[in-house]
């Protein structure tokens, strides 16, 4: 690695080849090319965000189709993809700077040599392709073939961005090498965050999780009574937060089974509303469920919205890079913070509480309760984080159309603002019988806190 201040990286090809060999990734470094005529490098703002749109669209499909990509894992993958994109093209964004030195334990990253021009769409294509290969290495052979096909198709799909008259073999090769090197440098960092080995319910180096016992504590829920999902996720190293506990949710009400207590009234509300939900409320619950294996998960839902907005606004490559860096970092850290709180407090789920003291036969009718503690609602935390970041980037009064579930026959749907969508996503879990209202409301300030920390990053000196 180079010191951040040096802002150069000599012997790119040799460094990349050595890195690939050392890590055994099975990826090929580009072959050295002969120097071509001198060409002035254009900034990233001179190019469209087409490369980003196509890769993000494929990544969201891969989240849906690759086993193991539960909501926290999906948000982490998106976080590293967004950061990789930004760091790969930020040398071509005058007035912007690397986030190295601002993110936890990320002290330095490669930087482009000012006297060797790079082609930023090629850099972005190589960086996103390489990070996608590494993040989704367990996906199907068919999906791996799709990755390779997309990487090769970019110059044909976006000829305006890959002008053969200016994109010499030397620049193309150097750009591809830099993009791959950046992805591999960030993956080296990613492998130390604690989440890289958490693809299953357990980490390899930790004992089987046993939930704490006692009144008001979470236990496995019907109908599957599945083991706790990612119980140690909250101990992962966040990207932006100094610690997962930095953004705390307000305390939930004290547990009680007394009928006059605040907790009992919250449990009764879940029971009554979910039992008598209107058709509209049921539609909200299903629309925002964003189940793993069926959808791109909650974080992917917001990434889909952002991707469509960038396309509709004809955003340039630099804008797309900043957008996905901010948005995806926030959603990744939101899941770490939310999961930390969940497994610290271990609040009982409504289905268990209702069966204990209100109706022993009740189960939510729309969907099973997810296998992890109740408080706070993960939908609330990450939706609040995502909407606040998008407010900052696009404007708080921005109306938009959500096409995430068009292929399921549930869209398009229009929203007057990001906050309106986030509030609907949050309360949808009450309609589904999944969360108490206090879990929904308590998750919002936690997500907003995470967004504030991400928005405070110095993208510009």
Query: Are 48 and 312 a contacting pair, CB within 8 Å?
Result: no
Q: Which of 262, 232, 1, 260 is nearest to 108 (CA)?
A: 1
User: Exposure string (b/e) for 180-219, b if CB count within 10 Å is 16 or more?
Assistant: bbbbbbbbebbeebbbbebbebbbeeeeeeebeeeebebe
For residue 459, what is the DSSP state?
A: S
CATH class held by domain 4-190: mainly alpha
Query: Are 380 and 447 a contacting pair, CB within 8 Å?
Result: yes
What ranges do the domains of the chain cover?
4-190, 233-455
Query: Are 115 and 40 a contacting pair, CB within 8 Å?
Result: no
* Residuewise pLDDT in 10s, the chain (461 residues): 333 333 333 444 455 554 444 444 444 444 433 333 344 589 999 999 999 999 999 999 999 999 999 999 999 999 999 999 999 999 999 999 999 999 999 999 999 988 899 999 999 999 999 999 999 999 999 999 999 999 999 999 999 999 988 899 999 999 999 999 999 999 999 999 999 876 544 455 667 889 999 999 999 999 999 999 999 999 999 999 999 999 999 999 999 999 999 999 999 999 999 899 999 999 999 999 999 999 999 999 999 999 999 999 999 999 999 999 999 999 999 999 999 999 999 999 999 999 999 999 999 999 999 999 999 999 999 999 999 999 999 999 999 999 999 999 998 999 999 999 999 999 999 999 999 999 999 999 999 999 999 999 999 99
Q: Which three-class secondary structure state does DSSP give residue 395?
A: coil
For residue 316, what is the DSSP state?
A: B
Burial class (CB within 10 angstroms; exposed 0-12, middle 13-18, buried 19+) of 337: buried
Which fold is adopted by the domain 233-455? Vanadium-containing Chloroperoxidase; domain 2 (1.10.606)
Instruction: Give the pTM.
Output: 0.92
Answer yes or no: same fold for 4-190 and 233-455.
yes
C-alpha 182/C-alpha 86 separation (Å) is 10
């Amino acid at each position: 690695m180079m010191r951040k201040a040096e802002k150069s990286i000599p012997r790119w090809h040799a460094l990349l080849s050595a890195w690939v060999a050392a890590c055994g990734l099975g990826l090929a470094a580009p072959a050295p090319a002969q120097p071509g005529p001198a060409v002035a490098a254009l900034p990233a703002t001179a190019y469209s965000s087409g490369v980003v749109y196509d890769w993000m669209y494929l990544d969201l499909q891969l989240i849906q189709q690759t086993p193991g990509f539960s909501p926290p894992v999906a948000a982490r993958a998106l976080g590293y993809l967004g950061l990789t994109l930004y760091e790969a093209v930020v040398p071509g964004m005058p007035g912007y700077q690397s986030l190295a030195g601002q993110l936890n334990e990320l002290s330095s990253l490669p930087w482009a040599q000012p006297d060797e021009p790079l082609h930023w769409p090629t850099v972005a294509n190589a960086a996103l392709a390489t990070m996608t290969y590494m993040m989704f290495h367990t996906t199907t052979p068919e999906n791996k073939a799709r990755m390779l096909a997309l990487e090769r198709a970019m110059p044909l799909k976006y000829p305006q961005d890959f002008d053969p008259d200016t994109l010499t073999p030397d620049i193309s090769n150097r750009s591809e090498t830099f993009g791959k090197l950046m992805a591999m440098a960030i993956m080296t960092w990613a492998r130390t965050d604690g989440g890289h080995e958490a693809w299953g319910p357990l980490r390899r180096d930790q004992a089987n999780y046993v939930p704490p016992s006692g009144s008001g504590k979470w236990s496995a829920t019907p109908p599957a009574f599945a083991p706790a999902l990612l119980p140690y996720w909250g101990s992962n190293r966040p990207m932006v937060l100094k610690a997962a506990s930095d953004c705390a949710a307000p305390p939930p009400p004290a547990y009680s089974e007394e009928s006059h207590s605040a907790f009992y009234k919250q449990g009764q509300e879940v029971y009554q509303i979910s039992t008598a939900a209107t058709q509209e409320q049921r539609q909200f619950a299903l629309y925002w469920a964003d189940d793993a294996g069926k959808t791109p998960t909650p974080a992917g839902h917001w990434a889909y919205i952002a991707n469509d907005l960038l396309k509709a606004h004809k955003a340039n490559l630099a804008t797309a890079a900043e957008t996905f860096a901010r948005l995806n970092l926030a959603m990744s850290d939101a899941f770490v913070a939310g999961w930390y709180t969940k497994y610290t407090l271990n609040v009982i789920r409504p289905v268990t509480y209702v069966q204990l003291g209100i109706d022993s036969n009740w189960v939510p009718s729309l969907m099973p309760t997810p296998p992890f503690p109740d408080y706070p609602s993960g939908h609330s935390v990450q939706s609040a984080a995502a909407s606040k970041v998008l407010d900052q980037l696009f404007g708080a009064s921005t109306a938009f159309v959500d096409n995430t579930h068009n292929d399921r026959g549930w869209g398009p749907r229009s929203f007057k603002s990001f906050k309106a969508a986030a509030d609907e996503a949050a309360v949808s879990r009450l309609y589904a019988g999944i969360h108490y209202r206090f879990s929904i409301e308590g998750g919002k300030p936690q997500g907003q806190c995470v967004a504030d920390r991400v928005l405070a990053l110095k993208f510009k000196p």
